[in-house]
Chain A
Amino acid sequence: MAYSEKVIDHYSNPKNVGTLDKASKNVGTGLVGAPECGDVMRLQIEVDDATGIIKDAKFKTFGCGSAIASSSLATEWLKGKSIDVAATIDNMDIVEELNLPPVKIHCSVLAEDAIKAAINDYRKKNGLEELVFEEKGVH
Chain B
Amino acid sequence: MLKLPVYLDNNATTPMDPRVLETMIPYFTEHFGNAASRNHPFGWEAEEAVDYAREQVAKLIGADPKEIIFTSGATEGDNLGIKGVYEMYAQKGNHIITANTEHKAVLDTCKHIEKSGGEVTYLSVQEDGLIDLKDLEAAIKPTTILIAIMYANNEIGVVQPVKEIAAIAKKHGVLFFTDATQAVGKIPVDVIKDGIDLMTFTGHKMYGPKGIGALYVRRKNPRVKVTAQMDGGGHERGMRSGTLNVPGIVGFGKACELCRLEMDQDTARISKLRDKLETALLKLDEAYVNGNREHRLPHVSNISFKYVEGEGLLMGFNKNIALSSGSACTSASLEPSYVLKALGLGDDLAHSSLRFGLSRFTTEEQIDYTIEQISTTVLKLREMSPLWEMFKEGIDMNSIEWAQH
Please report A residues at the B interface, Cβ cutoff 8 Å: 3, 8, 11, 14, 17, 19, 31-42, 60-65, 67-68, 103, 106, 110, 113, 139
Question: B404 touching A11 by the CB < 8 A rule?
Answer: no
The B46-92 residues at the A interface (CB cut-off 8 A) are none
Does B336 lie at the interface of the complex (its beta carbon under 8 Å from any beta carbon of A)? Answer: yes
Residues of A within 8 A of B332 (CB): 103
> A34 and B315: CB pair below 8 A?
no
Residue in B307, B311, B347, B400 whose CB lies within 8 Å of A65: B311
CB of B329 closer than 8 Å to a CB of A? yes
Stretch from B103-111, B186-194, B224-232, B383-391 that touches the partner: B383-391
In the assembly, what is the distance between CA of A31 and CA of B397, in Å?
12
Partner of B385, one of A3, A32, A38, A61: A61
C-alpha spacing A37/B310, complex, angstroms? 12
B327 within 8 A of A: yes
Give Cα A32–Cα B346 distance, bound, in whole angstroms: 19
Complex alpha-carbon distance, A87 and B404, angstroms: 22
- A65-B403 in contact (CB<8A): no
CB atoms of A36 and B383 under 8 A apart: no
CA distance A69 to B230 in the complex (A): 49
Q: Which 3 pairs across A and B sit closest by C-beta, in order of nearness?
A: A34-B402, A139-B405, A35-B348
List the B side residues contacting A11 at CB < 8 Å: 312, 315-316
In the complex, what distance in Å separates the CA atom of A63 from the CA atom of B385?
Answer: 8
- Rounded to whole angstroms, the CA-CA distance of A17 and B383 in the bound complex is 8
- Closest CB in chain B relative to A5 CB, distance in Å: 13
B384 and A60 contact, CB distance less than 8 A: yes
Interface contact A38-B329, CB-CB below 8 Å: yes
Question: Are the CB atoms of A41 and B386 closer together than 8 Å?
Answer: yes
Between A and B, 13 residue pairs with Cβ closer than 8 Å are: A34-B403, A37-B328, A37-B347, A38-B311, A38-B348, A39-B309, A40-B387, A60-B384, A61-B386, A62-B307, A63-B329, A64-B327, A65-B311
Residue of A nearest to B384 (CB): A17
Instruction: Decide: A38 and B402 in contact? CB cutoff 8 A.
Output: no
Which residues of B are found within 8 Å of A8, using beta-carbon distances?
315
**Contacts A33-B402, A63-B309 given; does A40 touch B384 at CB 8 Å:** no
Q: Quick one: CB contact mask for B363-399 with A, threshold 8 Å, 1 for yes?
A: 0000000000000000000011111110000000100
B308 within 8 A of A: yes
* Chain A at the B interface: SS class: mixed
B299 contacts A by Cβ under 8 Å: no
State the CA gap A137–B328 with chains docked (Å): 19
Counting chain A CB atoms within 10 Å of each CB, the highest count among B309, B388, B404 belongs to B309
B351 at the interface (CB under 8 A from A): yes
Contact assessment for B351 and A35 in the assembled complex, using a CB-CB cutoff below 8 Å: yes
Contact of B346 among A3, A31, A33, A36 (CB under 8 A): A36
Task: With A34-B405, A36-B348, A36-B404 as known contacts, state yes or no: A62 contacts B311, CB within 8 Å.
Answer: no
Q: Would you call A60 and B385 a contact (CB within 8 A)?
A: yes
Nearest-neighbor residue (CB-CB) of A109 within chain B: B405
Q: B329, B384, B405: which contacts A33 (Cβ < 8 A)?
A: B405
A11 nearest CB neighbor, chain B only: B315
Are B402 and A60 in contact (CB-based, < 8 A)? no
A38-B351, A60-B386 are known contacts; what are 8 more A-B pairs with Cβ within 8 Å?
A34-B402, A34-B403, A34-B405, A36-B351, A38-B309, A39-B405, A64-B309, A68-B312
Contacts of A38 in B (CB 8 A): 309-311, 327-329, 334, 336, 347-348, 351
A37→B404 contact, CB < 8 A: yes
Contact yes or no, B312 A60, CB < 8 A = no
Cα(A17)–Cα(B332), bound, Å: 29
Q: Which residue of B lies closest to A68 (CB)?
A: B312
Inside 8 A of A32's CB, which chain B residues have their CB? 403, 405
Q: Which residue of A lies closest to B319 (CB)?
A: A8
Q: Using Cβ atoms and an 8 Å threshold, which residues of chain B touch A103? A: 332, 334
Interface pair B405/A63, CB less than 8 Å apart: no
Chain B residues within 8 Å of A39, by CB: 309, 405
Query: What residue of chain B has the Cβ atom nearest to residue A71's Cβ?
Result: B384
Which of B311, B336, B348, B386 has a CB less than 8 Å from the CB of A42? B386
Question: Whole-angstrom distance between the alpha carbons of A60 and B309 in the complex?
Answer: 13
CA of A30 to CA of B120 in the docked complex: distance in angstroms? 46
Which residue of B328, B334, B385, B403 contacts A62 across the interface (Cβ within 8 Å)? B385
Out of A3, A60, A65, A68, name the residue touching B389 (CB < 8 Å). A60
